[in-house]
A and B are shown apart, each in its own frame.
Chain A
Amino acid sequence: MQFGSRRRSRVLQIAVAASVLALTAGCSSGLASGASADSGDGPIKFGMLAPFSGSESAFGAYMQNGAQLAVDEINEAGGVLGRQIELVVEDDACDATTAVSGANKLVTEGIVASVGGYCSGATLPTLPIFDEAGIPMVIPAANSNELVDQGLPGVFLINGTGDQQAAAAVQYAEQIGAKKVAVIDDATSYSADLADAFTAQATEAGLAVDVTATVTPGENDYSAVATQLASAKPEIVYWTGYYQEGGLIARQSADAGFEGVLMVADGSVDAKFAEIAGTGYTENVVGTFTQTPDMIEGADAWIADYTDLAGDAPGPYSTQSYDAVRVMAQAIDDAGSTEFDAVVGGLEDLTDFDTFAGPLTFTPDHTLSGGGFVIVSIDPASGVFVLEDDLQG
């Protein structure tokens, strides 16, 4: 409640300031439409922060095109509250500093909702910015538990969280009959979080977590951890970082004599993983991953639409970004307003909304009730990750 009242007074201040500005400078209502978004005319702006440069830059286009497809579809069907939606994207480079300036830029551009966020470490510092500006967020890809642990009212995750991914990892470890497991993280927010969740859940499931190690990302030599794995001989090791280090660890640990299964988390599920690891180093690699369009039955028509729009096949987080826009638009439509409290209410009230990851209802923590994680493995011919086990049976 305190949040709400403080927000409204701030909105009022900005609106007053903006109208003064508009009067004195005679400029258009660019600022004012951001602060008091329900002026009722012009398009409703959805903002999206995604990585378009840096090590994760491949994902930015997948997310933007997925979201744009949803925007186009909604606009064609008449828009939201009788207004068109406009998607505004900014680069976060998977970097906290860039993300913060991108978020501020989106706020000044007058977005009423945020549907972006890929790297948890870059998304986390943008939460207070959007919160202060009274902008609800449906985050399509970033999934660190820290995002919702702060209990900010406007933050919703539609990708499974670290806890849910760890649950899938533990389930698979039990399925292959592992008794001894290991976990390695790269000290980033997402990775450490997932490693902690995995350790906790594996211990609970009665598995022995023999090795817990942390490596420094961006280096080339991981022989220390490779040697550790080779001597501790866990049956399965869970790598929770990104693909560049993951590929190196796959190779170096096999060279060091490690023969168990290397399971990687969603940040490592990328075709570059196999290229970096090299031929012959990927047979024992599996990954925990959210479903991508090509793994979902009956998504052919959607894939065709996407390819029409983007000129390229959809990739990871295309569907989640598409769903993020739809979820947000539905909530605004239900609420009948773009006002913060109303939209949050609309999001909380969604029941069994149809998404690629299954019917969506938010938990009181603003996360998904079901995770939607599957197990993928590397196809030796093409080096890309393909569905191995959907963990349903």
Chain B
Amino acid sequence: MQLIWNGLIVGSFYALVALGYSMVYGIIKLLNFAHGDIYMLGAFVGFFTLSAFGISNETSIPLLLVILLLSMVTTGLIGVGIERIAYRPLRKSPRLAVLITAIGVSFTLEYGVRQIFGPNPEAFPIRLESAGFDIAGVRVTASQIVLVVIAAALMLVLAHIVERTRQGRAMRAIALDPQGAQLMGVNVNRVIAIVFFIGSSLAGAAGVMAGAYYGSIDFLMGFIIGLKAFTAAVIGGIGNLYGAMLGGLLLGLLESFGAAWFGGEWRDVFAFAFLILFLTFKPTGLLGARVVERM
């Protein structure tokens, strides 16, 4: 039981980041390797804002929500900016060119932040109260509950946008057939920008939550989670929203059990072994649609 709960906590981080991965892939078939670094940026935007106001060691949840929204808007705009500057000019280029650009963007963000904030890990100024209590033999902390509630709320909002709004319909149309959508009068550039905004703000939110939950942030924190989120997106079926959520939670659980059975040093081996297994035997993932061409 404890393992399941631990897995769900980590899994909700993976799911939030994987959603952005998956949405971007779904709509323009790009693996945005800079996505993990947006997560890092989210944490640093929160850190910068709070430090500017001289806040440290705070535990208030309303303040966290304010910072969360602020970071989401900022990282969302940064995401749109990245798409405009780095990806849109290359949209007609070979996929490999865009992929390499994405890696370049990733490095730019990582070492840009390192230039500004320095290489040392920083302590995040808001910490969630984390006194633990036991429910049915499971050790649960208040901060974990806050975390899961926020993550679930964000995912519900996202599902609503995609399923029930005009913009959501436009997104699904572009994912299906970009040229067809354009012929039907959908403003493709605008919708793609919106997708980047939403995906990046979710990653930014995850970054702030990671800062508040774990307490330590550094300029390379997005690297591993970016890879894990990619794995989660593949497991769930890349391009599929519910697949990304499911894949994230599933990967969290897999890691939690993997680490318990084989020891902590095998956690990543276990996670990435699943990536390879899925790519080999079921490249479309659990919920993915059949796609002919794939990077």
- Give Cα A57–Cα B255 distance, bound, in whole angstroms: 32
Cβ-based interface call for B146 (8 A): no
Identify which of B6, B130, B134, B215 contacts A224 (C-beta below 8 A). Answer: B6
Q: Of the listed stretches A96-104, A215-223, A334-342, name the one at the interface; the rest are far from the partner chain.
A: A215-223
- Give Cα A244–Cα B265 distance, bound, in whole angstroms: 17
Q: Which residues of chain A are within 8 angstroms of B158 by Cβ–Cβ distance?
A: none
Q: Of the listed stretches A8-16, A154-162, A276-284, A360-368, name the one at the interface; the rest are far from the partner chain.
A: A276-284
Is the Cβ of B214 less than 8 Å from the Cβ of A221?
yes
Min CB distance, B18 to chain A, in Å?
Answer: 16
Given A220-B214, A222-B264, A277-B215, are A58 and B123 neighbors across the interface (CB < 8 Å)? no
Min CB distance, A260 to chain B, in Å?
Answer: 16
Is the Cβ of B210 less than 8 Å from the Cβ of A272?
no
Q: Which residues of chain B are within 8 angstroms of A276 by Cβ–Cβ distance?
A: 121, 123, 215-216
Q: How many A-B residue pairs have CB under 8 A?
A: 92
Given A214-B265, A218-B224, are A255 and B214 neighbors across the interface (CB < 8 Å)? no
Q: Which residues of chain B are within 8 angstroms of A279 by Cβ–Cβ distance?
A: 57, 127
- Give Cα A225–Cα B123 distance, bound, in whole angstroms: 22
Min CB distance, A17 to chain B, in Å?
Answer: 38
Q: Which residues of chain B are within 8 angstroms of A55 by Cβ–Cβ distance?
A: 119-121, 218
Min CB distance, B141 to chain A, in Å?
Answer: 5
Is the Cβ of A225 less than 8 Å from the Cβ of B127?
no
Is the Cβ of A230 less than 8 Å from the Cβ of B139?
yes
- Give Cα A276–Cα B130 distance, bound, in whole angstroms: 14
Min CB distance, B140 to chain A, in Å?
Answer: 10
Q: Which residues of chain B are within 8 angstroms of A215 by Cβ–Cβ distance?
A: 264-265
Q: Which residues of chain A are within 8 angstroms of B210 by Cβ–Cβ distance?
A: 220
- Give Cα A248–Cα B123 distance, bound, in whole angstroms: 11
Is the Cβ of A255 less than 8 Å from the Cβ of B121?
no
Identify which of A216, A223, A244 contacts B121 (C-beta below 8 A). Answer: A244
- Give Cα A291–Cα B230 distance, bound, in whole angstroms: 46
Cβ-based interface call for B263 (8 A): yes
Residues of B106-128 whose CB lies within 8 A of A: 118-121, 123, 127
A-side residues, CB < 8 A to B, are 53-55, 57-58, 187, 213-216, 218-225, 227-228, 230, 244, 247-248, 251, 255-257, 272, 275-279
B-side residues, CB < 8 A to A, are 2-3, 6, 9-10, 57, 118-121, 123, 127, 130, 132, 134, 139, 141, 210, 214-216, 218, 220-221, 223-224, 255-256, 259-260, 263-265, 267-268
Known: A222-B264, A223-B10. 15 other contacts (CB 8 A): A55-B119, A187-B265, A213-B265, A214-B263, A220-B210, A224-B256, A227-B3, A251-B130, A251-B215, A255-B130, A255-B141, A272-B123, A275-B123, A276-B123, A277-B215
